[in-house]
Copies of this chain bind each other. A is one copy, B any other.
């Protein structure tokens, strides 16, 4: 049977993406929906909106609520949430490595490891050693880090980010089913439902 497809757009520096990355695999497994994991970068999208950093930094009241809201929601999901420092982290290396890692089934575990390192362990995911540890813990070869720096892989991330913008994506996590866009971890269930009802 052909499965309907959900595109899952996530950014490694995004706090709410942490929740979806941890929750999605089990939720999707209970459906007929095929999930395409699409790491992308919010930086260029924020720049195009006139921000030089996360809106949670630009608008402190929003940032303060987000941190408290993340604490409450992580607790509900049985996850630890540590305020990341620095915030936002530089997610470029993680995203480039994820593109290659996700060609293997263990790629999803790699992505989860990166979020746990950042938001549970309090590590900085900009560091190649941190990313290497995430690969090893997912039983993936650490030479992916070098391969991730090759030009076609860099281009691919730029193209994915441009594709996200064409979909009207302005934050993470986001979910698309065809032209239908859902934004936010709190729309994950609705997006999966939509995908389950959509034509494959």
Contact = CB atoms under 8 A, between A and B. Distances in A.
Contact of A68 (B64, B68, B171, B181): B181
A190 to B, nearest CB: 7
Given A72-B190, A186-B186, A168 B49 contact: no
A190 B69 CA distance: 10
A182 B69 contact: yes
Contact of A61 (B59, B61, B62, B168): B168
A190 B76 CA distance: 10
* Interface size band for A: 20 to 34
A187 interface: yes
A170 B69 contact: no
Contacts of A65: 168, 170, 181, 183
A61 B181 CA distance: 11
Interface string A164-184: 000011110000000011111
Nearest to A72: B190
Contacts of A169: 61
Contact of A168 (B64, B183, B187, B190): B64
16 contacts: A49-B59, A59-B170, A61-B168, A61-B169, A62-B170, A62-B171, A64-B168, A65-B168, A65-B170, A65-B181, A65-B183, A68-B181, A69-B183, A72-B190, A184-B186, A186-B186
Interface of A: 49, 59, 61-62, 64-65, 68-69, 72, 168-171, 180-184, 186-187, 190
